[in-house]
A = this chain, B = another copy of it.
Amino acid sequence: MPPSRRMTLKDLAAELGVSTASISNAFNRPDQLSPMLRERILNEAKRLGYAGPDAKARSLRTGRSQIIAVILAESLTYSLNDAVASELLSGIAEVLDAHGHTMLLLSGRQHGSETHGSTNMADGYIVYGLMPSMTMLSELPAQNPLVAVDFDIEHCPTIHIDNEPASYSIARHALLTPPKRPAVINLRLTKQPCNGRITDEHDLFSAHHTITRSRLMGIHRAFKESGIDPASVPMWNVEENIHDVCAPVIADILDQPEEHRPDLLLCMSDRIALTALTLAEQRGLCVPDDLRITGFDGIAEGQYRAPRLTTVRQDSIEKGRLAARMILGLSPKEQKYLSTELLIGESCP
């Protein structure tokens, strides 16, 4: 036996003088053979360094790989460092792991034009966020289950939260104390890329970004209810939910002369709000006395600090758990809305 080639199930069968079926059963179905033979096989396998059936061959034969692919709208580099996406992945991993599955990470923003060759190996797909191109999704094997999170696909079970009411509730809370100069910081909500002040209202609402769009609707509803004309509220936009991208926009906002500087900042995400908090503190502004700030998401970083962020907590971990359970068929595949919770921190009491 040349040690060059790895040992296979067949080799082991020959060595032991039994059929390959018995070896396979010894590893997979203990009830199908006598305990004596099973033990003999397992011992000999260990002695000869056979680590068990090859996953590649098994997956071809059985049609299943025990792999669930998570397709993230953004790049992996971004997603892995984004708290919301990370929590989602945590929840997914937790459930998959408990049921003997593993997680393959893919990005919808495919490198170059080709999708990865290993894409169609997965047993199922969890899609997170708005896909830049739908072609990738249409190329997935149709018979494999697909679950979407925070993004609607036709005829596909989806997990979301109710963004409009959630956003309305936090805005309403903030407006209980009437602001002198409120402002809103949107996330990627303009048709044309715009990192700064939104001057043309008509440029608002890029067709697709329904999540942040709903959040802005909620905010507008709260404004109207408080007798404030939404059109009179200055709006800003950031292109990416990343500190370094948000910082210059927020610096512009805060560096205005005091009589123009907002005293209430409604932010579309905690990342934006935290950046605002940092920049305010660096300028010696007191939060919440000089400036009140709200976020959205409820990430840990916003709660593990002083002052804590006033925000809407969405349970991304639970989103992930549920998505994984749906994919594995442990929960019914349906449209599911998870509840949110208003967290009132010191940043906007």
Interface residues of A (CB under 8 A from B): 6, 51-52, 54-60, 63, 65-67, 76-77, 80-81, 83, 86-87, 89-90, 93-94, 97-98, 100-107, 111, 114, 116-121, 139, 141, 143, 243, 274-275, 278, 281-282, 300-301, 304-306
User: A94 and B66: CB pair below 8 A?
Assistant: no
A216 to chain B, nearest CB (A): 25
User: A90 and B94: CB pair below 8 A?
Assistant: no
Could you say which of B60, B105, B121 contacts A93, with CB atoms under 8 Å apart? B105
A85 to chain B, nearest CB (A): 9
The 10 A-B residue pairs with the shortest CB-CB distance, nearest first, are: A76-B93, A55-B121, A281-B306, A56-B60, A77-B90, A282-B306, A56-B59, A243-B304, A66-B118, A80-B90
User: B90 and A274: CB pair below 8 A?
Assistant: no
When all copies of this chain in the complex are counted, the total is 2
Could you say which of B63, B86, B100, B306 contacts A86, with CB atoms under 8 Å apart? B86
Could you say which of B77, B94, B111, B305 contacts A305, with CB atoms under 8 Å apart? B305
User: A102 and B93: CB pair below 8 A?
Assistant: no
CA distance A6 to B52 in the complex (A): 29
A329 to chain B, nearest CB (A): 18
CA distance A59 to B120 in the complex (A): 11
Contacts of A100 in B (CB 8 A): 111, 114, 116-117
CA distance A274 to B65 in the complex (A): 41
Contacts of A54 in B (CB 8 A): 60, 120
User: B94 and A86: CB pair below 8 A?
Assistant: no
Interchain residue pairs with CB less than 8 A apart (21) = A51-B120, A51-B139, A55-B118, A56-B56, A56-B65, A59-B121, A67-B104, A80-B87, A80-B93, A81-B300, A93-B105, A97-B111, A100-B116, A102-B119, A103-B104, A105-B105, A243-B300, A243-B304, A274-B304, A275-B304, A305-B305
A328 to chain B, nearest CB (A): 14
Using CB atoms, name the residue of chain B closest to A4: B143
Q: A66-B116, A80-B90 are in contact. Are A278 and B300 (CB under 8 A)?
A: no
Contacts of A300 in B (CB 8 A): 81, 243
A331 to chain B, nearest CB (A): 19
User: A97 and B107: CB pair below 8 A?
Assistant: yes
Given A67-B118, A76-B93, A243-B304, 17 other A-B contacts at CB below 8 A? A56-B56, A59-B60, A59-B118, A60-B60, A66-B118, A76-B103, A80-B89, A80-B93, A81-B90, A93-B105, A97-B111, A100-B116, A100-B117, A101-B116, A102-B116, A275-B304, A301-B301
A121 to chain B, nearest CB (A): 4
Q: A51-B141, A77-B94 are in contact. Are A104 and B106 (CB under 8 A)?
A: no
Q: A90-B76, A306-B278 are in contact. Are A104 and B104 (CB under 8 A)?
A: yes
